[in-house]
Structure 1
Amino acid sequence: MTSLSGDTPPISDLQIPQFDLVSDISDHHFAGKHPKTPPSSVQKKIMQEWKLLSKDLPETIFVRVYENRVNILRAAIVGARGTPYHDGLFFFDVAFPSDYPARPPFVYYWSFGYRLNPNLYSNGRVCLSLLNTWVGKKCEKWDPNNSSILQLLLSIQALVLNEKPYFNEPGYSGWSGRTYGEKKSLAYSEDVFVLSCKTMLRVLRKPPQSFELVVAQHFKDNAEFILSACDAYRKGFARVGCFNGAVKGTKGEVSVKFKVAIDLLYEDLVMAMLKTGASVEHFAQQAREEREKKAKEKAEVAAASKNKRGVTVGEIGRSFVQKLKKIVSLGSIMKNKSQKSKTIPV
């Protein structure tokens, strides 16, 4: 059972390993783009990476390596609580170049077409100094002697999927702490959370290969917190990313745009979480009641509008008929007068 506060419970408690060896590479982004067998020196280095990952992965990062393709791997990173990415699952495909570690790995982000971070593009590009895909100080760039895949994954989780991603954009970093910058940051975080929820739905509906159990168990364990957060955010009980399980005495302003977006996603999220076996029937009941209430209100508005239009048309119709009668009557009178004037003898 998931607590509504604190850190995300470890999935490893349910015997789902953080690191595992699998075989299916059918949907891996780099499956057909790199040589199947890297040089022996590169294989040796990759085996060292495997060993490090198998020992030191945190409970919120999962890695799957491939028995027949040692030069690619896939990672899932859990968004940290206290950020607009909280409890989401974000997937990255990694490939080792033929001269690894002289060059950094290639990394592809499963974006599903969403741009939810300045460093993560909708086309899957990951923009990071450590990957040499962005400018940075020498100490921030890839170091063949010291850098590793583990360091890369930890950097993405802590530095990219952070509390205020708006300021990841270099041009905006100087606005942190200023009223204007913080306001823009909050609006950006609202958009990020909406896209994170959309990503959750995409992942739930079609999990990446070899992560089916991770996806199902993760969302089963965290459905209560995720849906409670969605409900708290849209009702203004907490600012996006700041929900901690308690709503009493808390308040967080959110935009109308955000409320509308979450309302549109909410029931779909609930139904997707239910399919994992999560005990969120009370949220499903709430969603049904909200849908029925909205449908009833819409029907009442439509009926009222129809009645108003009907009365107006009726009144116009009656007025027109009355005017027409007057015109006809006047015409008749004028005709009679004309006929009488013609019969008067001179």
Structure 2
Amino acid sequence: MQLNAELNGDMASVIAATTTQLPIQSEVPTRAAGKHDYRAQHSHSQPHSSSSRSFATVNDFASYIQTRKCFGCSTRLIQSQKDIEDLFKGWLTGQGIFTSLLKCKRCSTSTCVGCSSKSTGKKAAFEVTVQGTQITWCCGRGRLFLIFVILCGYDVNFCMEKQREAAKRPNVPRVGGSGIGFGGARGSPLYELNMMMPFSRGGRYAQGVQAPDPGKIRAQNSQQASDTFNRMVLSFLEELLPSLENKSNFDRTPPEAVTSMLLNCKILNKAAELLRNDSLEDATKRKDIYQALLSFLRRIGTHPITAQKTVFSERVVRDDTVNLLTLSFQSGGYGKAKEDKMSSLADSLRNLNIQSNVMLSGAQRNENEFRTTEGQNMLGMCRSISDLSEYLLANTQAGTGKGGKAPAIENAECGIEEVPDNQLLSGHYFGGIASAWSHSPPGRMKRLITEITSLKTGLPPGIFVRYGSSRLDVMKILIVGPSDTPYELGLFEFDLICPINYPNEPPKMNFRTTGGGSVRFNPNLYADGKVCLSLLGTWHGEPWRPAESTILQCLISIQAMILCEEPFYNEPGSENAASTAASRAYNLSVRKENVRWAILNWLETPVNPIWNDIVAQHFRKNANKILEIVMRWESEDTGGPYTPCPRMVRPIVRGGSSGTIATLRPRLQAQLQKYGVTAAVQPPGQAFPQQYRAQGHGATMGNQGSYESQYPPSRGAYGRGGYGSCGGYGGGRGGYGGGRGYY
């Protein structure tokens, strides 16, 4: 964007003609040669040296502009929030002049809303052109008004779209790596923009993939319209927000209200949403919006007025009933709006930078994979992200204190690591197949590098991945059993390989935690290692889509859908079964095998060296927790064999079960001593020590027994209170679990 090269002064002589105005912060000419300058269009204007009135908050400024009156007839220029909405919509669609000089609805006199100066009929004092749109203002307060209107208008559209998404969420199609499709609700600025701007209706899809259905095409076109809208807004703000590269008073010492506006606007939410994208490929396809985002972040992240609060600090996020416009014009402030704390934009940028650096490193070792236009565009995007991250984050005291990494980022990086090829292939289920491959078809390695970058920051807690230094197509995975499931805190190992024609064929996986081929832990996890999952092509349902599906999706599906609370219902034919007794019996059997093979076996047998650190850390961190859970399971274990429901779930153990948890618990406790376990053991049927009784937050006691009573042996130490249907916190379940109560 080429801005005008000189600045001759502001409208001092015109401003002096008004008698009711406050001192104005001048826009003083001064950008170095080669830099963009704002040009003053009035030859009679002189630089104004008065300081501007200080607006500390957005409410200060909103109150101020509502008092501004027409120079000719004294009619208020801004009478309601609808005036702001109409201004923004007119600016966006080109039906209104993008200026701080507003035309009076009564006498048609043009007056600057910032300083109440009357237009002389000549061009406004300051002018820039952004995305082909001419933007003009009269004074520093006029420039602040433009920022205010843009942010208010953005919020109206953002909230309207989010509410529309929520209403239609079950039917919203997913688009590529970005997830949610956007559309413009009729009457919104985005709808108006969508109606005025033609977009491509076609696209290029990977081999073997059918063209998407009309709903997906509509979602893609809506997202393209949304990206265009967001790019325009970010570009407007990037030019209007204060910058130390300019030398006007507004740029050097802007009012605190600028920061207040940004913090109360949804634009930072959108920035965070874009930064959280786990697909660099998707970001590259949407490079225009991402380049606008990076420029916007550079602008707010380098100015001392805005940087700390908008980029480097946690943000308060409120629901969509509250936005900048409602806050400015409606009484009651935030009211009862729900507030949440979100991580800083700097942390999200670090996350994206991790992906970018992995991609750049992989490209150096596989240059031929990135010689295409698409590959070069991706590397260009990665360099832009890396440059901005280094510029904003290197040696900064903001965010993490001393330029270090936030804990969440450190955890994300240790979730996936590179290991020597020979160490990975040794003992790998697919090691022989992988060793026989001597070449990789064009495009395959680039896709694998893309997958690794997504895994670097997208892995949820409890999933760990190791891949070969030169064999990115071979991986080992360790998944920690989720809370509130019969798999809780067990360690479940998988081997993965990407076929030679990947991604046109899904990855292949083998389940390793089978007790030597004796245990079928789940209807979808066979004793022979087969993993039944539609994304892997081993089960019916949502298939692998080469252009969209990812390894990350496969791993999350296993963690969330297979290692679930009631695996009994994963068996075909039992989805709608009402047999809770059969499900409970199945869970009891899974618990035993979890203790035997997914916990105790890791403690009693040598661990694969690639998992040494993870396994040791797991047991050091969770030793007490594991023993407490096993003690509860022991109290609920009747000791009888599992009897499968006819025609539904086959027995999970070949040749008999592992016995009772009671026979395994002493061995487990002995092994956990090495990891500092301190939990005391109380035989089932006796009064349980106070520190191990369920202390759920629920106000209602269990149906039987109380927290202080001696529970009957048949129900175990936890009985039906504390962990049953009435005790604890959240979801009607007490006792132990993630968000469902605690001991």
Q: Who is 1:322 aligned against?
A: none
Q: Who is 2:664 aligned against?
A: 265
Instruction: Kindly indicate whether the alpha-carbon contact (under 8 Å) linking 1:21 and 1:65 is maintained by their aligned counterparts in 2.
Output: yes
Q: Who is 1:127 aligned against?
A: 532
In structure 2, C-alpha distance between the alignment counterparts of 1:15 and 1:267, rounded to whole Å: 35
Q: Who is 1:256 aligned against?
A: 639
Provide closer, same or farther for how the CA distance between residues 36 and 257 of structure 1 changes in structure 2, counting only shifts above 3 A.
farther
Secondary structure of the residue aligned to 1:33 is helix
Q: 2:615 aligns with which of 215, 218, 226?
A: 215
Q: Who is 1:339 aligned against?
A: none
Please give the per-residue CA displacement for 1:86-143, whole angstroms capped at 9, x wherever unaligned: 111111110000110111001011123221100001111101111110122xxx1111
Instruction: Kindly indicate whether the alpha-carbon contact (under 8 Å) linking 1:37 and 1:71 is maintained by their aligned counterparts in 2.
Output: no
More helix by share: 1
Provide closer, same or farther for how the CA distance between residues 55 and 16 of structure 1 changes in structure 2, counting only shifts above 3 A.
closer
Provide closer, same or farther for how the CA distance between residues 171 and 261 of structure 1 changes in structure 2, counting only shifts above 3 A.
same
Corresponding position: 1:185 with 2:185: no
Instruction: Kindly indicate whether the alpha-carbon contact (under 8 Å) linking 1:11 and 1:218 is maintained by their aligned counterparts in 2.
Output: no
Q: Who is 1:160 aligned against?
A: 562
Secondary structure of the residue aligned to 2:670 is helix
Instruction: Kindly indicate whether the alpha-carbon contact (under 8 Å) linking 1:273 and 1:280 is maintained by their aligned counterparts in 2.
Output: no
Secondary structure of the residue aligned to 2:576 is helix
TM-aligned CA deviation for residue 281 of structure 1: 6.8
Instruction: Kindly indicate whether the alpha-carbon contact (under 8 Å) linking 1:12 and 1:59 is maintained by their aligned counterparts in 2.
Output: no
Please give the per-residue CA displacement for 1:243-264, whole angstroms capped at 9, x wherever unaligned: xxxxxxxxxxx42327961011
Q: Who is 1:334 aligned against?
A: none
Secondary structure of the residue aligned to 1:257 is coil
In structure 1, C-alpha distance between the alignment counterparts of 2:501 and 2:452, rounded to whole Å: 17
TM-aligned CA deviation for residue 282 of structure 1: 3.9
Provide closer, same or farther for how the CA distance between residues 270 and 38 of structure 1 changes in structure 2, counting only shifts above 3 A.
farther
Secondary structure of the residue aligned to 2:590 is helix
Please give the per-residue CA displacement for 1:217-273, whole angstroms capped at 9, x wherever unaligned: 10221121111111122224xxxxxxxxxxxxxxxxx42327961011101111222
Corresponding position: 1:65 with 2:476: no
The letter of the residue matching 1:134 is W
Q: Who is 2:18 aligned against?
A: none
Corresponding position: 1:38 with 2:459: no
Corresponding position: 1:172 with 2:574: yes
TM-aligned CA deviation for residue 15 of structure 1: 10
In structure 1, C-alpha distance between the alignment counterparts of 2:634 and 2:596, rounded to whole Å: 16
Corresponding position: 1:95 with 2:497: yes
The letter of the residue matching 1:159 is M
Secondary structure of the residue aligned to 1:171 is coil
Q: Which runs of 5+ in 1 are unaligned?
A: 1-9, 237-253, 288-346
TM-aligned CA deviation for residue 32 of structure 1: 1.3
Secondary structure of the residue aligned to 2:632 is helix
Secondary structure of the residue aligned to 2:527 is coil
Q: Who is 2:419 aligned against?
A: 22
Secondary structure of the residue aligned to 1:70 is coil
Instruction: Kindly indicate whether the alpha-carbon contact (under 8 Å) linking 1:11 and 1:59 is maintained by their aligned counterparts in 2.
Output: no
**TM superposition outliers: structure 1 runs of 4+ over 3 Å:** 10-16, 280-283
* Aligned pairs (5 A) from 1:334-345: none
TM (norm. structure 1) is: 0.68
Secondary structure of the residue aligned to 2:610 is coil
Secondary structure of the residue aligned to 2:446 is helix
Provide closer, same or farther for how the CA distance between residues 44 and 12 of structure 1 changes in structure 2, counting only shifts above 3 A.
closer
Instruction: Kindly indicate whether the alpha-carbon contact (under 8 Å) linking 1:21 and 1:67 is maintained by their aligned counterparts in 2.
Output: yes
Secondary structure of the residue aligned to 2:607 is coil
Q: 2:523 aligns with which of 110, 118, 123?
A: 118
Instruction: Kindly indicate whether the alpha-carbon contact (under 8 Å) linking 1:78 and 1:88 is maintained by their aligned counterparts in 2.
Output: yes
Provide closer, same or farther for how the CA distance between residues 42 and 173 of structure 1 changes in structure 2, counting only shifts above 3 A.
same
Moved more, 207-216 or 188-197: 207-216
Instruction: Kindly indicate whether the alpha-carbon contact (under 8 Å) linking 2:412 and 2:459 is maintained by their aligned counterparts in 1.
Output: no
The letter of the residue matching 1:77 is I
In structure 1, C-alpha distance between the alignment counterparts of 2:569 and 2:552, rounded to whole Å: 24
Provide closer, same or farther for how the CA distance between residues 15 and 282 of structure 1 changes in structure 2, counting only shifts above 3 A.
farther
TM-aligned CA deviation for residue 12 of structure 1: 8.6
Instruction: Kindly indicate whether the alpha-carbon contact (under 8 Å) linking 1:63 and 1:75 is maintained by their aligned counterparts in 2.
Output: yes
TM-aligned CA deviation for residue 40 of structure 1: 3.6
Provide closer, same or farther for how the CA distance between residues 130 and 42 of structure 1 changes in structure 2, counting only shifts above 3 A.
same
Q: Who is 1:86 aligned against?
A: 488
In structure 1, C-alpha distance between the alignment counterparts of 2:410 and 2:623, rounded to whole Å: 17
- Number of aligned positions between the proteins: 252
In structure 1, C-alpha distance between the alignment counterparts of 2:413 and 2:621, rounded to whole Å: 13
**What root-mean-square deviation, in Å, do the aligned CA atoms of Structure 1 and Structure 2 show?**
2.5
Instruction: Kindly indicate whether the alpha-carbon contact (under 8 Å) linking 1:27 and 1:208 is maintained by their aligned counterparts in 2.
Output: no
In structure 2, C-alpha distance between the alignment counterparts of 1:234 and 1:11, rounded to whole Å: 35
The letter of the residue matching 1:225 is K
The letter of the residue matching 2:567 is P
Q: Who is 1:5 aligned against?
A: none
Q: Who is 1:224 aligned against?
A: 624
TM-aligned CA deviation for residue 274 of structure 1: 2.1
In structure 1, C-alpha distance between the alignment counterparts of 2:439 and 2:666, rounded to whole Å: 47
Instruction: Kindly indicate whether the alpha-carbon contact (under 8 Å) linking 1:18 and 1:63 is maintained by their aligned counterparts in 2.
Output: yes
Instruction: Kindly indicate whether the alpha-carbon contact (under 8 Å) linking 2:591 and 2:633 is maintained by their aligned counterparts in 1.
Output: no
Secondary structure of the residue aligned to 1:21 is strand
In structure 2, C-alpha distance between the alignment counterparts of 1:79 and 1:15, rounded to whole Å: 18
Instruction: Kindly indicate whether the alpha-carbon contact (under 8 Å) linking 1:120 and 1:127 is maintained by their aligned counterparts in 2.
Output: yes
The letter of the residue matching 2:419 is V
Q: Which runs of 5+ in 2 are unaligned?
A: 1-406, 642-657, 684-743
Corresponding position: 1:55 with 2:457: yes
Corresponding position: 1:279 with 2:279: no
Moved more, 259-268 or 164-173: 259-268
The letter of the residue matching 1:256 is G
Identity percentage over the alignment? 35
* Aligned pairs (5 A) from 1:292-311: none
Q: Which has the higher contact order (CA 8 A, sep 6+)?
A: 1
In structure 1, C-alpha distance between the alignment counterparts of 2:408 and 2:628, rounded to whole Å: 20
The letter of the residue matching 2:453 is K
Please give the per-residue CA displacement for 1:183-213, whole angstroms capped at 9, x wherever unaligned: 0000000011111111212223232340111
In structure 2, C-alpha distance between the alignment counterparts of 1:50 and 1:16, rounded to whole Å: 11
Provide closer, same or farther for how the CA distance between residues 39 and 13 of structure 1 changes in structure 2, counting only shifts above 3 A.
closer
In structure 1, C-alpha distance between the alignment counterparts of 2:566 and 2:534, rounded to whole Å: 19
Q: Who is 2:343 aligned against?
A: none
Secondary structure of the residue aligned to 1:94 is strand
